[in-house]
Every structure is written in structure tokens, then in C-alpha cells.
Structure 1
């Protein structure tokens, strides 16, 4: 299949054309070119190997249906078959985004833990929306993600492998990220294998180590197909499995996970242990699903705070009375907690209450309230940043309207009616 030269005009199925400018990069599937499309700069992925008509038709359907989330660098338009091949147009990756592997190799770091958590939330949201459409990604690995280390924004590429659930068009995936049943060649990729791969990505995002690469692989001289099945198939052992220490991280080799395991709230460690348990390995339908990860990450965002003593980021667990800063080691007084829907929100100064916690559909970062300190009384309260009036019901049963931009005190056993059917309760 011929490579494209500068100035080549490519016809698209939508009746438009694009003009090739220069090569941006290449890989096993094809070459990505910078092209002029509708008067702007875009990327053209041009295939250099044969793909079936089913693959081509699926690509057209994806382009026609549009992206499930703005996190996906989704096919915008598919080319006609020409010059012995075809391809598709997508947006260019903006400046400031780094490859996922750069974080794994410590070539770049998140600007803050808040940015790290935001990246996880973006990934969970993107794949939840993709799965709601009845699609599966099928090839999740470290090459699919570009992340902005400053704010944690995420872009997901290689979306030509996305297909209806339980439909596979020949793309299997990458060892170390694949679900065990795919490694064992028992089935083709699907939504349940996506759940497993997403858990792998999230684990790496926080611990900078793959979840099944411990002392077993460290003692392996050369990785063969049989060894891949042994390490990543149905006999895989999670490096932090509390019931099986046969594959623990190796000191001096797996430094990141050894240092970081134990820093995060127990709720997160518990969900990773569940996600990589023997049950989840052997029974795909028992896996932690995207919605559960999303709930955890939103809760994690609410547990992140600035230490009142040293000002560094640390976590405050809403149900623990023994809070210690991860940086300076000093005790942190347990704050009041707002219970709403599935969430328990510690009410420390600066805490934000988000749309998605009420829950209200919309922007993941949309704020409906914030904990502020009153300039006169020096007491903490909650300011209403939503567009609707709340009702605050104090322990005596008195009702107070809290209009937008107004505030309310934080008192034990105070109830808040945010909207019809959306209620919160403040507790010690």
C-alpha cells in the first residue's frame, strides 16, 4: 500500500476532501498525517495493512454516530477507498498532553494529586458513556491515552477498534492489559474484558506499576507466549493480593507501588483487591464495573484536602476519627460529613460539592456548593453556587431557604433538601 505524499488530495465519504501536508507518526496499523480539512489542521490515520469490509463499515458507523465523550479522539469522517487503502479524519492532539507511558516511566509527573484523580474520573466517565451505547473498546493499553499533567485532562486515541459489544473485528489487545480469558484465548474482547483492562489502567495511574508484574515476572528471563498465559491468564496473581503473597513487588525494582500502596484511602485499595481477585479473574460477570469506579473516584476527589498544618495534599476519610497528614504526620481534626446519595463528603474549608454527587447530570466539574469560612463568626458554612434554592432544616425542625449565592451553617443532624427527591444530612 502506497504511502501518501505532500499535496495528495483524499476524498471523504461525506463529500469533502482533505489535503496531506506531512507525516506525524506511524505504527503497526498505519501512518498518521497532518492534513488540511475544511480549512483547519486535522489528523488523518491512513492504514498500511489490509482490513475487512466489516472493519470499514464499523468505522463508518462510529463516525456517523459521533463520540460518546469529548475525551475520545473519535473518527470525524471516513475516507473513500482509494490508492489501495482508506483512513479517517480526527482532531489533532493539543499541546501539553503526554503519553501514558511517560507517567509510568517518571518522565513526567502530575502537578498535583487533584490532577491525578481528575484523570481517573475522566477515564471512568469516558468508558461508562461508551459502554452505555452498547460498545466495547477492546484494546485498552498504555498507548491509548494522552494526559495533561497540569490538570489531568485525558484524550483517548485508537478508537477504530471500538465495536458493538461481543463483536470483534480482529483486534485483540496488548499483554499485561488484557483480561485473563482473552490471554487464554477463551473468548474475544467485550465489555467485561474492558472492565478488567480499565482496572489495570487505573491501578497504573495511581501506583505506576502493572498489577500483575511482581516477583514472578522479575524472575523471568525471556517472556514467551506460554509465560504470558501463565502470568496474565487465569492463574494471574495480583501483586497486593491479601490471600496470596507469591507475586509481591520486589524491593528496589517495584519501588513505586511499594511506596504508594497504603497512602490512599482503604476504600480504593479494597476495590482494587476486588477487581484483581481470583473471583474477578475467573468470572468476568463478577468484575467491578465502570460505574463503581466512577463512584469511587468522585468520592476520592472529596477526600482530598490541604493539610491545615503544612498545606500539602492529604486525604481525610469521612468515617475515620484518626486522621494524619501524609506529608507532615500531624493529626487532623475529623470534620463534619455531608451524606448525600452514595457519597460521604467531609466538610473541611474549601470542600466543593459537585453536580454529580447529588446526583445531577452534567459537567463532572460543575460545582453546586462550597464550604467557606464566615468572615465575622469564623465558623464554617456551605455557600450555594447552584441555580436553585435549597431548604436547610435544622435539628429543631425549622426550615430556612438557601437561595443561590446565599449560605447556611454546618450543624450536626441538619438536613438539606437540594432538589425534589435529593436530600442530604450533615453528621459528626
Structure 2
């Protein structure tokens, strides 16, 4: 693979550090990406095609570098790399191999799970929420800019060189399939920003969880040539949700779209309701779009309500707080709901419902009414459901925190659970988790 820069080429960043090109890693619509050696180890260099190396793009990159946006969910531009004549690029961290692109997911080439996909969706929402909270619009949210770890759901947002301060001007409007209808139509005064990002984000979430585009139903099958005019009609002039409750004119085809019919049926109402709202009212009125905080709360609650089927072992999303869960999407057997831990946070009070399935865990964010960020990694572990080593089928909640708990049984007796100790799981058990109240419910 050959590119614009030869191996061994030496360049200097705007802060005076010398880098050396090692090899080309790939190419995209705006430029090529290279592995380079730097004083701080190997990095990635994005180098723009001459047609994209505009003064406007140069200004955007320089502004992004100057912001020094330190967030491990983004491969953010860290240094501007100028050259002559008018060629330039920027440095960023290399993407670890464990992070995979979404096209491989959509082609079913990755082994993952509903829990990992829900986690990736939650982390994606929070990543863009962090960006928006700083007054930055991404403007090109799509399947091509998100990478995720199929086992953990961790995400990396790449290609951040099109993000601009809200209200800033740029020629980038996004990828047609993900663009808000008003941008596709070219409505007067419509321009990319955080409000249009909300539409793009919802399309991405639908594709992550349903493996299908929310506007591609029967109407797309009737299109003989999906050219620009056809795309503008599908996504802009006449967009219609495939599960619009008032209009089935773009419903999924039972044969061609069987996957989305099954995934939609398996999704809990907490998610279906938000998708229905964003792709009906939100298509007509940008102000009616689902906010990041709404997605965050719904995704977290559904993630904590995932259970395994007792017959086939497959993971199932269930409706948070419900006492019955229907049947398994995979084998059709009736699901048995395990006990749940109801956590009541300190003021402002909020309830968290965590299904105590095998291996269930409680993390630091469960104890906070408004966590700044959700983190399901070992580093934030507070409690874990464990099976008794000598009594199969007997479970307890292990204290994985650094502080002792107080447990109150249904008969009113209490006990201390030191870090590392386990309290037997019983309905009605009340726990004081370092100032946060939790109760075990049978269902």
C-alpha cells in the first residue's frame, strides 16, 4: 500500500518535535493515516489529501489541538504537523487492535453480546455528551467514526477533525444516512450542530442495537437505483420510521428484513419508546429529539436488567423493574427473572435496579444519583454476586469495596460485612453500602 508519504519521511510538529513515517495504515475520504515514530513512542498521523487541505480545515485542526481535550474515549488531535506547500496533518494516539469497526459488526463478523452492545451504546452516548457539554458539535456521527471492544463495550471515537465549536461554519454536514432530515433537504438556516448530532446519534444507536437502519424498510426495496436523489427522498424529503405506529408504509419486509423484526421484538419498551419518539416526532421537529441524558438513563437501566435464559444461556434484555419477562429471543422458553437489588442513592434520590443474575456486579456509578460517567470496569467494582464454593446454587453478595457494609436481615438482626466478605443473598436483606441503601427483592 503506497500513499502520499514515503516510509522514512521526517516531519516536524508545530511544537518542534520530529516524527518519522513508518508505514501507511489506511485511507479515508479526507486523507491517509500513517504509523509514525515520535519522541513519545509510536503515534498515528492523519495526512490530508491536497483537495482537503484547505485553510478552513487547517484552522479547525489547529483549534482542536489548542483545546487539549483530554478524554480517553476520543483519539483527539494532539499536535499539528505542517509541511510545504500547504500540506498538513495532525498526530493522535494509535487505535489499539482490540477496538473493531462497526462494519464488521453489521456483517456479523464479530463475536459480541447484548450486554457489550448496550455498554457500547451507553459509552457512545456519554462520549458525545461530554463533547457537547464543552460546546463542540461533532457533525459527522456515523458508523465509520466509532470503534468498540466487542468483549467489554468500551468505545473510541476517531476522525475528530470535523468537530467544531457550536455555531462554527464548515463544509462538512455529515454522512447522508446519518444526517438529520433538515440537513438532507437543505432547509434554509439548517446547519450541522449539537441538535442535528442528536439525530445522527440515535441512528447510530439503532444500528448498534438493531443491526439495521431505522429508515430502511419497504421503500428502499422499491428503489431501483439508490442515487443521491433517492437518498434525499429516503432520508430527507419523505423519511419514515420502519416501526412508525401510525404508518406502516415503510415497514420491514418479513423476508429481507427479518433480523430487525426479531431484534425489535426482543428490545424492551424502555428503548422502543425512545426510538419511536425520535424517529416520528423527532423527524418533524428537531426540538423533540431525544437528549443524551434520556438515552443514558434508558440504556443504563436496560443494561442492569439483562438476564440469561436458564435453558439456552443467551442474554436477554428485559424491561427494568418488571416482575415478568416473557420468553427468550433465542429458544422461546419462558425467562425466569433472578432477584434484583434496588439501590436508593443519596439526595437527590434516584433508584437503580440491578438484576442479580450470575456474576452480577455493582459499580461506583450505581451509588451516585448523577454519575459523571458510567464505568463497568473492575476499577469501579463495589459488589459482586458469587456462588458458594461448596454449596452449588447458593449465592451471596461479596463486598469488593474498601469500606465495610452493614447488613440488616428480615428479622431485624444486623451484621458487618468487611471488604472481601460475602453476605448470603436473601429476599428482604437490606444493605448500607457506604451510606447508600440497597434492598434485595425476590423479583
User: Is TM (by shorter chain) over 0.5?
Assistant: yes
Given the alignment of the two structures, is residue 275 of structure 1 paired with residue 278 of structure 2, yes or no? yes
Q: What's the CA shift for 1:402?
A: 3.1
1:128 aligns to what SS in structure 2?
A: helix
1:72 to 74, 78, 99: 74
After superposition, residues 146-157 of structure 1 pair within 5 angstroms as 146-157=147-158
2:363: which partner in 1?
Answer: 354
SS at match of 1:189: coil
Partner of 2:287: 285
1:14 is displaced (CA, Å) by 1.4
Aligned to 1:44: 45
SS at the partner of 1:372? strand
- Structure 1 residues 400-419: Cα deviation after superposition (integer angstroms, max 9, x where no partner): 44332223344444443324
Conserved 8 A contact 1:136-1:163: yes
Q: Which residue of 1 aligns with 2:159?
A: 158
Unaligned segments of structure 1, at least 5 residues: none
In 2, distance between residues paired with 1:286 and 1:323?
A: 31
1:60 to 49, 59, 62: 62
Q: Matches of 1:332 and 1:25 in 2, distance apart?
A: 46
Residues 235-273 of structure 1 deviation map (CA, whole Å, 9 limit, x = unaligned): 311101122111011233223212322122222222211
Aligned to 2:440: 426
> How far off its partner does 1:46 sit?
1.2
- Residues 181 and 239 of structure 2 are in contact (CA less than 8 Å); yes or no, is this contact kept in structure 1? yes
- Deviation track 1:287-324 (CA, whole Å, cap 9, x = no partner) reads 11222222222222222233333333234444132543
Q: 1:6 to 1:315 in 2, by over 3 A?
A: closer
SS at match of 1:14: coil
2:102 pairs with one of 81, 97, 100: 100
Seen in structure 2, the aligned counterparts of structure 1 residues 252 and 153 have a Cα distance that, compared at 3 Å, is same
What is the rounded CA distance, in whole Å, between the counterparts of 2:171 and 2:317 in structure 1? 44
State the 1:204 CA deviation: 0.8
SS in 2 for 1:417: strand
Task: Give me the whole-angstrom Cα distance separating, in 1, the residues matched to 2:191 and 2:77.
Answer: 23
Q: Deviations over 1:316-338 (max 9, x none)?
A: 44413254333333334333322
Q: How many residue pairs get matched?
A: 424
Residue 221 in structure 1 maps to residue 230 in structure 2: no
1:386 aligned partner = 401
Structure-2 change in CA distance of 1:18 and 1:307 (3 Å): same
TM-superposed CA distance for 1:172, in Å, is 0.8
Deviates more, 1:176-185 or 1:299-308: 299-308
Secondary structure in structure 2 of the residue aligned to 1:331: coil
Q: Using a 3 Å threshold, how does the CA distance of structure 1 residues 333 and 31 change in structure 2: closer, same or farther?
A: closer
Partner Cα separation in structure 2 for residue 230 and residue 129 of structure 1? 33
Q: For the Cα contact (< 8 Å) 1:373–1:381, is it kept in 2?
A: yes
Q: Shift of the alpha carbon at 1:190?
A: 1.0
Secondary structure of the 1:59 match is helix
Residues 25-80 of structure 1: CA deviation (Å, up to 9, x unaligned): 22331222222222632221111225554532332232233345322221121113
Question: Aligned-pair distance for 1:88?
Answer: 0.1
Contact persistence 1:68–1:133 (CA under 8 A): no
Matching of residue 259 in structure 1 with residue 262 in structure 2: yes
Provide Cα deviations, 1:169-203, integer angstroms capped at 9, x if missing partner.
22111111011121122311111211111111111
Secondary structure, in 3 states, of the residue corresponding to 2:204?
Answer: helix
Contact 1:20 1:33 in 2 (8 A): yes
Displacement of 1:372 in angstroms is: 2.6
Rounded to whole Å, the distance in 2 between the matches of 1:83 and 1:118 is 45
**Once the 2 structures are TM-superposed, how far is the Cα of residue 22 of structure 1 from its aligned partner?**
3.0
Give CA deviations for 1:189-237 in whole Å, capped at 9, x if unaligned: 1112111111111111122111101111211122344433322126311
Q: CA deviation at 1:116?
A: 2.4
Q: Secondary structure at the match of 1:343?
A: strand
TM-score by length of 1: 0.89
Rounded Cα–Cα distance in structure 2 between residues aligned with 1:286 and 1:398: 51
> 1:405 is matched with which residue?
420
Given the superposition, is the C-alpha separation of residues 216 and 61 from structure 1 closer, same or farther in structure 2, using an over 3 Å criterion? same
Q: Deviations over 1:326-385 (max 9, x none)?
A: 333333433332223343212233211122222255634222112234457754332221
The match for 1:239 among 218, 242, 247 is: 242
Structure 2: give runs of 5+ residues left out of the alignment.
344-349
Q: Per the alignment, in what secondary structure is the counterpart of residue 356 of structure 1?
A: helix
Determine helix, strand or coil for the equivalent of 1:233: helix
User: Is the 1:32–1:46 contact (alpha carbons within 8 Å) kept by the matching residues of 2?
Assistant: yes
Question: Contact between 1:302 and 1:352, CA under 8 Å: does it hold in 2?
Answer: no
TM-score (norm 2): 0.87
Moved over 6 A (4+): none
Greater mean deviation of Cα atoms: 163-172 or 2-11: 2-11
Indicate how the Cα distance of structure 1 residues 10 and 305 shifts in structure 2: closer, same or farther if over 3 A, else same.
same
- Is the contact made by 2:267 and 2:318 (CA closer than 8 Å) also made in structure 1? no
